[in-house]
Amino acid sequence: MRFLPLLAANLFRKKVRTTLTVGSFAVALFLFCLLVTIRGAFNQGVEAAGADRILVINKTSLIQPLPLAYRDRILRVAGVQHVTFANWFGGVYQDERNFFAQFAIDHTTYRDMYTEFVVPDDQWEAFVADKAGCIVGAATAERFGFEIGDRVPIKGAIYPGEWQFNVRGIYHGRRPNDDLTQFWFRWDYLDEKVPSFAKGYVGWYTVRVAPGQEMVPVSRAIDDGFANSPFETRTQSEQAFMASFVEQMGNIELLMLAIGGVVVFTLLLVTGNTMATAVRERTGELAVLKTVGFTDPFVMGLVLVESVLIAAAGGVVGIALAKLFTLQGDPTGGMLPAFYLPSWAMAAALGLALAVGVAAGLLPAVGAMRLQVVQALRKV
Amino acid sequence: MVRLGLNGDSGALITLRDLGKTYHRGSEELHVLQGINLDVDKGDFVAFMGPSGSGKSTLLNLVGGLDVPTTGSVTVAGDEITRLSGSRLTAWRARHVGFVFQLYNLIPVLSALRNVELPLLLTPLSRTERRRHVETALSVVGLKDRAQHKPRELSGGQQQRVAIARAIVADPTFLLCDEPTGDLDRKSADEILELLERLVDDHGKTVLMVTHDPRAAERAHAVLHLDKGVLT
Amino acid sequence: MALPLVYNVESVRARWTASIVAVLGIAGSVGVFVAMLALANGFRAAVVTSGSPENLMVRRAGATSEIDSAVNLEQLRAIEDAPEVRRGSAGPLVSPEVVVIAALPLKKTGTDANVQLRGVYARALEVHDRVRIVRGRFFRPGLYELVVGGNATESYRNLGLGDAVSLGGSVFTVVGVFDAGGSAFDSEVWVDADVLIPTYQRPRGFYQSVTARLAAPDALDGLKRRLEADPRFTVQIERETDYYARASRMMTGMILGLGSLVAVVMGVGAVFGALNTMYSAVAERSREIATLRALGFGAGAMVGSFVVEALLISAVGGLVGCAAVLPINGLTTSTLNFQTFSHLAFAFQVTPSLLAGGLAFALLMGLCGGVPPAIRAARLPVAVALRDL
């Protein structure tokens, strides 16, 4: 610790260079954290998917509906504990670019199924009492300034017409990566308003499998029950369903990550080299330290510590900035609702920074240790 | 002729009147030069000698317009350069001064030819004209056949000769040499001093030289001593 | 009076290890920048070339895509009878189309992806005149036959010429492959509309969209005004190219948004790298710089020279970055287009203007990385630096 002044003096000798090097590290690690966040956002659907939920959709096509009558039949299948349903509404709020998912849900069963979402009891009750009510996710509410009691107009696309809903509640998530952008209103309200040929249809059923039961046999049992009917079903776990979407996005994600990997690698290379150069420039002084009496391992340690300190400083700055950035939420306007930087990623980033710090400092540090004093002084 | 301690207008090429330079180190004041009065005529060869820290280099820097005095004036060919500032001073320097440094200060990545050409880039001369002047300068210092060599391919003495060629190529009013033989062995040093003498005797150049070397001082027309900022 | 360019070139060469680092940083940034733009470009191009400026598209008013649109027979008639629509030898060039989403397994992963299944009539080929059958033949009306886009046949299992595939409970045979010029249609599967409607239990008498050829490109406005104002019809009419431009907006926006973010952040890092390199250069060459200043090169010349040097390095970096990224041109990839909810294959598109943009980006970074050190070079205390050992 008494060598701290020496360490500090060395680091602050060339303030501009130290600042720039710390800055480069910060940038590289900011990007690293950003990439982890993007990857997480793409995969959010999978990661946040309920582990015990399965989805029943129309086998012919995702966009085909299922009859409401199926609900009771699904409930009677062995292993089924709870059933709810919803429709994708797909309307437009003011502008097509203000995208957020809208669902017409069954207000009697939805809340018990999606337990990761939290709505205060009094708000939920208000929702149950108002047929034209709606519950908005905290993120969407904040984005558009919706407050309880507001009237939200949505222009229907699949279900044409001007729809109006009253905000009765705001939902939050239990986990940091939960999707807080959804908009729920009542299926019975939707069904009441659609023309008669469209009444009585749901978009999909969500089923909770009873504890101890296996999802695959229950799924198969459900599908077998509706085989050869006009509305054949396809049942799969919520995770598998989400994964298939991610698969389709797959290439984009892979590309972004590949590019990002290159980026981070390059930056670290650049930064590491700068640090190595800085050390080489100080060969003379290091030699002088040795003539004064500091040992070889000490000089090597000095160089290494400086290296690691710069890397750590840059790492902390970069990670902190990344965290701040991700706290602002989705920068793409609706396509990546779960824009979140997890703690493990922050720790990994710091580890990466330190590793590079050691690597960049090691070679010149060893060189410093082996330095022949006479040669070094002659160079001066 | 070199004259000390006169006042008024003397018609000399270089006139220093009451020149002084003081540095401030925190609260301390360092009087590096005090009350320098000097006249140097065209064609003079003056050597300044003195112990380390006596202000020799500072004097040279002031005369060459590389630094600004605290008191007094420097007049060269009728121009009071201490009145000039910034870019005007730079332009003046380009036109009137040829520098020769102890460490040669050649640009390592350029060939001898291009090094010598540098001062001419500040003039309106065309490429062919510049090349002609460079060849002449290199011939004067005897290095015409080394024109394409880079400094690291030349010996110390040869590098200094290239530096001298650079110093004379634009035909400056006078030459300022700061320890020109300081880094050279005896033989090379003698060659350089001979060259400087030739420039003065045969080509009518005016040379102000700072040196430690008594043999260098011998070659000058006049030797002045600087001690604790006072010229004698 | 300026310092000769050869001074900068030789100086960069002499310090090539340090320069390489700056070059790499800038090359990386430019590469990412161009790659991202090429990705967005390719996606947009694939979607936009689906449309022709001579065609119009009719959907239900308020529909956000084709899937959620419905056009009835009465509206179809109005289009067929409209004088602004071109007539071919067999009647008006009008193509009513049914669009559904089907799930088919991808060749690469075996998992399902959403395919757009388009029910059309023979007239469709005349209206979408950029679509041509390149292998096999068009389906015959009334039969369970499919024609498949070039990308679709590459991406999905069981969509090869002659394959049989099960859709909506019936078995279809692939009888032809068509080329749609790299547009979104290339990722689609086409079938007889009259076969698709019962197979997918779509209501009869309704289509998702109607595409028609204009008699003259500027006839659109008249038709649009007339029909959109008519209270009997709730339709939206637009030029086909405009529809597709909007259909790609979200995805293009996302790619550009994320890509720009990454490129800019990396650009900052590259500028830091360049700054470091140039500051080191100034420090190493302080005696040189002082000599040049002593010789009479003014502040302007010094700043200019170092900025030129930085620009040289960054130009090389830009060229390396562009060259490195050039091979991805034409590389195909695919994704889910959220707006149409279907899988779309497209190719990276690197254009000369993109490359020029990349180079400009590089030079901008060079400027940012070169000016502050250049100013330091110009302000160096000359007398001190000259004797600096």
Q: Do A248 and C279 touch (CB under 8 A)?
A: no
Which of the listed residues C233, C263, C291 is the one where a domain comes to its end? C233
For chain C, say whether A324 makes contact (Cβ under 8 Å).
no
Residues 132-171 of B with CB under 8 A from C: 166
C70 and C37 part of one domain: no
pLDDT digit string (tens) for C22-43?
888 889 889 888 988 898 888 8
Query: Is pLDDT of B112 > 70?
Result: yes
Identify the band that residue A380 occupies on the pLDDT scale cut at 50, 70 and 90: very low
Question: What does pLDDT average to over chain A?
Answer: 84
Nearest CA in chain C to B88: C298
DSSP labels, A315-341: HHHHHHHHHHHHHT--TTSSS------
DSSP labels, C300-369: HHHHHHHHHHHHHHHHHHHHHHHHHHGGGTT-EEEEEETTTTEEEEEE----HHHHHHHHHHHHHHHHHH
pLDDT digit string (tens) for A156-215?
888 888 999 999 999 999 888 788 889 999 999 999 999 888 899 999 999 999 888 888
How close does chain B come to C301, measured CA to CA in Å? 10
How close does chain B come to C331, measured CA to CA in Å? 44
Is residue C55, in this structure, part of any structural domain at all? no
Identify the band that residue A375 occupies on the pLDDT scale cut at 50, 70 and 90: low
Dmax (CA) of chain C: 95
Considering only the beta carbons, identify the residue of A27, A158, A331 that sits closest to C268: A27
pLDDT digit string (tens) for A338-352?
788 888 889 999 998
Which of the listed residues C233, C265, C284 is the one where a domain comes to its end? C233
- Report the 3 state secondary structure along C17-75: HHHHHHHHHHHHHHHHHHHHHHHHHHHHHHHHCCCCCCEEEEEECCCCCCCCCCEEHHH
- Note whether ipTM > 0.85 here: no
Q: Do B94 and C383 touch (CB under 8 A)?
A: no
Give yes or no for a contact between A199 and A191, defined as CB atoms under 8 angstroms apart.
Answer: yes
C13 and C67 part of one domain: no
For chain C, say whether B68 makes contact (Cβ under 8 Å).
no
List CB contacts (< 8 A) between B102 and chain C.
387
- H or E stretch at A363: helix A343-370
C227 and C310 part of one domain: no
Give yes or no for a contact between C324 and C355, defined as CB atoms under 8 angstroms apart.
Answer: no
Mutate one of A253, A274, A282, A378 to test the C interface: name it (highest C CB count within 10 A).
A274
Q: What is the pLDDT of residue B7?
A: 59
Identify the band that residue C287 occupies on the pLDDT scale cut at 50, 70 and 90: confident
C210 and C295 part of one domain: no
Q: What is the pLDDT of residue C359?
A: 95
**Cα–Cα distance, A360 to C73 (Å, whole number):** 72
Domain extents for chain A?
A: 4-45+246-379, 60-231
User: What is the reported pTM?
Assistant: 0.76
Q: Which two tokens stand for residue A98?
A: 């203000």
Is residue C322, in this structure, part of any structural domain at all? yes
How close does chain A come to C1, measured CA to CA in Å? 31
Is residue C241, in this structure, part of any structural domain at all? no
Report the DSSP pairing between strands A133-137 and A161-173. parallel
How close does chain A come to C168, measured CA to CA in Å? 5
Give yes or no for a contact between A218 and A161, defined as CB atoms under 8 angstroms apart.
Answer: no
Q: What is the pLDDT of residue B154?
A: 93
C212 and C112 part of one domain: yes
Q: Do C2 and B64 touch (CB under 8 A)?
A: no
Q: Do C2 and B121 touch (CB under 8 A)?
A: yes
Q: In this complex, which chains have at least 3 CB pairs below 8 Å with chain C?
A: A, B
Is residue C244, in this structure, part of any structural domain at all? no
Question: What does pLDDT average to over chain C?
Answer: 87
The Cα-based distances of A36 to A31, A41, A297, B36, C259 in angstroms read: 9, 9, 38, 71, 14
C101 and C195 part of one domain: yes
pLDDT digit string (tens) for A6-64?
677 767 777 788 888 888 888 888 888 888 888 888 777 777 777 789 999 988 777 88
C295 and C346 part of one domain: yes
pLDDT digit string (tens) for C230-250?
887 788 899 998 888 887 777
Question: In terms of DSSP H, where are the helices of B153-211?
Answer: 156-168, 186-201
For chain B, say whether C298 makes contact (Cβ under 8 Å).
yes
Q: Which two tokens stand for residue C181?
A: 């010029």
Identify the band that residue C63 occupies on the pLDDT scale cut at 50, 70 and 90: confident
Alpha-carbon torsion, ordered C379, C382, C384, C389, to 10 deg = 100
Q: Do A17 and C36 touch (CB under 8 A)?
A: no
Establish, for the pair of chains A and C, how many residue pairs have beta carbons separated by less than 8 Å: 177
List CB contacts (< 8 A) between C201 and chain A.
60, 64, 230
List CB contacts (< 8 A) between B61 and chain C.
383
Query: Is pLDDT of A146 > 50?
Result: yes
State the architecture of B42-72+81-231 in CATH terms.
3-Layer(aba) Sandwich (3.40)
Query: In chain C, how many H helices and how many E strands?
Result: 13, 16
How close does chain A come to C63, measured CA to CA in Å? 4
List CB contacts (< 8 A) between C2 and chain B.
121
Which of the listed residues C178, C204, C233 is the one where a domain comes to its end? C233
Give yes or no for a contact between C121 and C193, defined as CB atoms under 8 angstroms apart.
Answer: yes
Identify the band that residue A250 occupies on the pLDDT scale cut at 50, 70 and 90: low
The Cα-based distances of B35 to A139, B24, B231 in angstroms read: 78, 18, 8
Q: Which domain holds residue C129?
A: 62-233
Q: What is the pLDDT of residue C146?
A: 95
Nearest CA in chain B to C301: B122
